[in-house]
Amino acid sequence: MLVLAPAVVMLGFKVFPKSPMGRHMVARGLSFDAAASMDARDLDLVGKCGRVESKCRPAGVARIDGRRVDVVTRGEWIESGTESEVLEVSGNRVVVTGLRDRREGADPPGTGQDQNDSTAGA
């Protein structure tokens, strides 16, 4: 009895959902391929630039193509107002990276010419 009862229950879990009555009673549910969890407009965002509206630490909001989009970064923090570029869209995840302001033309702190100038006088 201790072996037969669990075996019958396990067989029932395997066979019942495939039976005619089981197909009516068991919900099929959503799969990972279902488009219900994503916005189809997000697929066109790859490669487009926008501006971060809230701090991304690493998740935040950006305005891309005139609409607000929930975005995430690859781990870096991006300050509000920074230009960003969409790297990839996977499901409902829109991954962005921050772009350096090209008008300034300066290297980010701790890299390049800024660091060499500070050590030259020492």
Residue 42 and residue 68 in contact, taking contact as beta carbons nearer than 8 Å: no
Query: Whole-structure pTM over 0.75, yes or no?
Result: no
Q: What is the pLDDT of residue 47?
A: 94
Q: CB within 8 A of 28, min separation 6: which ones?
A: none
- Does residue 120 surpass a pLDDT of 90? no
How is residue 43 written in tokens?
A: 């697929």
Identify the CA nearest to 62 among candidates 47, 49, 74. Answer: 49
pLDDT of residue 41: 83
pLDDT tens-digit map of 9-66: 999 889 988 899 888 888 776 555 556 667 778 889 999 999 999 999 999 999 999 9
Is domain 47-98 in CATH 2.40.50.140, yes or no?
Answer: yes
pLDDT digits (tens, 9 = 90+) for 60-110: 999 999 999 999 999 999 999 999 999 998 878 899 999 874 344 444 444
- pLDDT score of 60: 94
Q: What is the pLDDT of residue 62?
A: 95
CA–CA dist 100, 7 (Å, integer): 63
CA distances, 54 to each of 70, 76, 83, 90, 93 (Å): 10, 14, 12, 21, 17
More confident residue, 114 or 89: 89
